[in-house]
């Protein structure tokens, strides 16, 4: 009897899962997070041969992966990032390393590319090629695909934040707003980055809310739910303490 009851209960709960939703969670910006970037050698447009570790021990950097023949997202990625940086004018010291993931790109191509954005004289921007493209892109979780008909790579617009120990601490996919760029700069500089999941449309009960623009925190009515158990307990105690008492015996 008990056994069949247990089997039934188990079967019932298993059945219920048909109704439970399965939420997809986009992990691509978390892929390879907190792992080390491959210590590849790069050749900068200024003619220096450097390893990435030589770069990050000096200063953290943001890595942008591009190819110069790109007719898609590479140029908007660089120009937008440049714009955001000048808007922010951050006090933190860091470099922006733009590396080509196309074997066809040469040092001269990258030099021209830098000139296109007027960044060839900018000390904070480093444009480079590397002979170790597969190792580099694998280590940051970047997966471009060659489309031979268009003679273009299909790829994400990716910025990778690398801190002073060579760890990937933030990834941004796509052209992002100024807050995201700011938080990446703080993250690579080991500063505290406050983050808060934005209220979901369907989330009607929260206890405190935070406005990332104004930095203001406000109590919300979900706070009341924290008081419900306490109120419930007090009511319960009042009810049960009103029962008829038995006489206290002498043993104590």
Partner 1 sequence: MNISLKRITSTWIITILLLFFTAIILGITMRFNQGKVISIDDGKFYGIMTTHGMTMIAIWAVAGMVGVHYLLSRYINVGAGLSKFAFIMTVIGVAMFYVTTFIGHFHAGWTFLYPLPFKNSFAWESWATPMFFWSLTVLGVGWLVWSVGLLVAIFKKYSFSQTFAWQHLTKKDPEVQTPPLVLISAISLVGIVLCLLTAVVILVLSFAEIYSDGKFVNDPLLMKNLIYFFGHTIANESLYLGLGIVYELMPEISGRPKFKTTWYVALGWNFTLLFVLTAYFHHLYMDFVQPLGLQMFGQFASYFASIPSAVVTIISIIVLLYGHRIKWTITNLLFFIGITGWIIGGVGALIDSTISNNIFLHNTLWVPAHFHTYNALGNVLLILGFFTWVANEFSGSQTDPMRKLKLALLIIGGFGFVLMFYCGGAESVPRRYSVYPAEFTRAALFASAAAWFAIIYLLGMSLIFVDIFKKCIRVYSSSHSDSSVA
54 binds partner 1 (CB under 8 A): no
Figure out which of the listed residues 19, 71, 91, 149 binds partner 1, where binding follows CB under 8 A: 19
1 binds partner 1 (CB under 8 A): no
Q: Which of 84, 89, 97, 94 is nearest to 179 (CA)?
A: 84
Contact positions with partner 1 (CB under 8 A) in 180-219: 194, 196-197, 199-200, 202-210, 217, 219
Residue 209 beta carbon to partner 1: minimum distance, rounded to whole angstroms: 7
What CA–CA distance (Å, rounded) separates 2 from 44? 74
Residue 21 beta carbon to partner 1: minimum distance, rounded to whole angstroms: 5
Q: Which of 250, 247, 94, 87 is nearest to 164 (CA)?
A: 94
In this chain, which stretch among 115-123, 148-156, 169-177, 226-234 interacts with partner 1, using CB under 8 A? Answer: 226-234
User: With CB under 8 A, what is the number of residues at the site for partner 1?
Assistant: 50
What Å distances lie between residue 250 and 130, 137, 247, CA to CA?
Answer: 91, 82, 9
Is residue 151 within 8 A of residue 55, CB to CB? The reply is no
Structure tokens at 232: 């419930």
Figure out which of the listed residues 71, 104, 213, 228 binds partner 1, where binding follows CB under 8 A: 228
In this chain, which stretch among 54-62, 136-144, 147-155, 224-232 interacts with partner 1, using CB under 8 A? Answer: 224-232
* Order of strands, sheet of 41-44, starting from the edge strand that comes earlier in the sequence: 49-51, 41-44, 125-130, 95-100, 61-66, 158-162, 168-173
For residue 180, give the H/E element and its range: helix 178-188
Q: Which residues bind partner 1 (CB under 8 A)?
A: 6, 9-10, 13-14, 16-17, 19-25, 194, 196-197, 199-200, 202-210, 217, 219, 222-223, 225-226, 228-230, 232-233, 236-237, 240-241, 243-246, 248, 251-252
């Amino acid at each position: 009897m008990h056994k069949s009851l247990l089997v039934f209960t188990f079967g019932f709960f298993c059945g219920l899962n048909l109704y439970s939703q399965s939420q997809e969670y986009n992990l691509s910006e978390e892929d390879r997070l907190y792992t080390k970037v491959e210590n590849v050698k790069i050749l900068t447009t200024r003619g220096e041969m450097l390893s990435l570790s030589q770069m990050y021990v000096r200063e953290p950097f943001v890595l942008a992966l591009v190819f110069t023949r790109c007719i898609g997202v590479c140029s908007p990625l660089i120009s937008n990032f440049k714009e955001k940086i000048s808007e922010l004018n951050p006090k933190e010291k860091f470099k922006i390393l733009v590396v080509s993931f196309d074997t066809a790109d040469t040092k001269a191509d990258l030099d021209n590319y830098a000139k296109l954005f007027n960044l060839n004289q900018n000390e904070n921007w480093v444009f480079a090629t590397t002979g170790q493209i597969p190792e580099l892109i694998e280590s940051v979780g970047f997966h471009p695909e060659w489309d031979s008909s268009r003679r273009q790579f299909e790829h994400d617009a990716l910025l990778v934040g690398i801190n002073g120990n060579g760890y990937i601490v933030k990834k941004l996919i796509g052209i992002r707003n100024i807050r995201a760029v700011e938080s990446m700069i703080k993250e690579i500089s080991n500063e505290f980055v406050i983050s808060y999941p934005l209220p979901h449309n369907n989330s009607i009960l929260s206890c405190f809310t935070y406005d990332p623009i104004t930095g203001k925190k406000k109590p919300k009515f979900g706070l009341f739910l924290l008081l419900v158990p306490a109120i419930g307990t007090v009511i319960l105690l009042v009810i049960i303490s009103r029962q008829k008492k038995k006489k206290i015996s002498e043993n104590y």
